[in-house]
């Protein structure tokens, strides 16, 4: 990854957590995920990867969801975020959730993660990475998902010219990124954005299924 771009450095993200400067953090699980999982009955145990899990709001929601059928894996670049999540895991005595401090692009170098997950959760990770690596991010998701596995995404969208992070994108760009290897099974659509007081932008929810 580009070594001169701040978002590609672990220290940049650690500093944000240490300073409490986390405008992307809404302090709760995204309502769009609650709605999706409540409306889609899932009977069997499923493996879920949460990329850029941060303080774990979405990951812990899934780990404690209903009968706890999910086995959840959270990945984040920042040591501080993972330390916080592990503390919360221990406090709540949860055995079906694990956290890993890593540059998630490195996951493709370990065969154990290949075709390993039924679901990948995307929430403000695509907009946080160097935009030059968005195609690589899509390839990462493809690598992680089983055939017919699903990306469940809440994408942060804002004007590209405003810079970042978060870096701007459009719903059209997101669709184009996933067209080759995924099928859009729940059309991208706007959801209430809980970042509005801190960040200028909107959120779109969509589900993409990996092609066989």
pLDDT, one tens digit per residue, over 99-119 is: 999 999 999 999 999 999 999
Whether residue 181 lies inside any domain: the answer is: yes
Across 167-172, average pLDDT? 88
Whether residue 93 lies inside any domain: the answer is: yes
Does 25 have pLDDT greater than 80?
A: no
The CATH number of the domain holding residue 74 is 3.40.50.150
Query: Is-contact 102 77, C-beta < 8 A?
Result: yes
pTM: 0.90
Does 187 have pLDDT greater than 90?
A: yes
Domain that holds residue 28: 6-210
Across 157-177, average pLDDT? 81
What is the number of structural domains in the chain? 1
Per-residue pLDDT, 169: 87
Whether residue 1 lies inside any domain: the answer is: no
Whether residue 193 lies inside any domain: the answer is: yes
């Amino acid at each position: 990854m580009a070594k001169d771009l701040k978002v590609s450095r672990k220290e940049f993200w650690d500093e944000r957590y240490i300073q409490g400067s986390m405008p992307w953090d809404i302090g709760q699980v995204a309502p769009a995920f609650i709605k999706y999982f409540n409306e889609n009955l899932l009977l069997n145990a499923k493996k879920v990867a949460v990329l850029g899990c941060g303080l774990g709001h979405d990951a812990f929601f899934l780990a404690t969801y209903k009968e706890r059928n999910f086995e959840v894996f959270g990945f984040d670049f920042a040591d501080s975020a993972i330390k916080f999540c592990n503390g919360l895991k221990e406090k709540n005595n949860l055995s079906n959730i694990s956290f890993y401090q890593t540059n998630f692009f490195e996951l493709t170098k370990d065969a154990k993660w290949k075709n390993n997950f039924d679901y990948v959760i995307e929430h403000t990770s695509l907009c946080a990475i160097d935009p030059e690596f968005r195609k690589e991010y899509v390839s990462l998701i493809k690598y992680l998902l089983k055939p017919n596995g699903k990306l469940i995404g809440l994408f942060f969208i804002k004007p590209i010219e405003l810079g970042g992070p978060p870096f701007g994108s459009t719903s059209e760009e997101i669709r184009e990124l996933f067209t080759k290897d995924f099928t859009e099974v729940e059309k991208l659509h706007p959801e209430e954005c809980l970042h509005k007081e801190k960040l200028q932008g909107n959120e779109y929810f969509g589900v993409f299924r990996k092609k066989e």
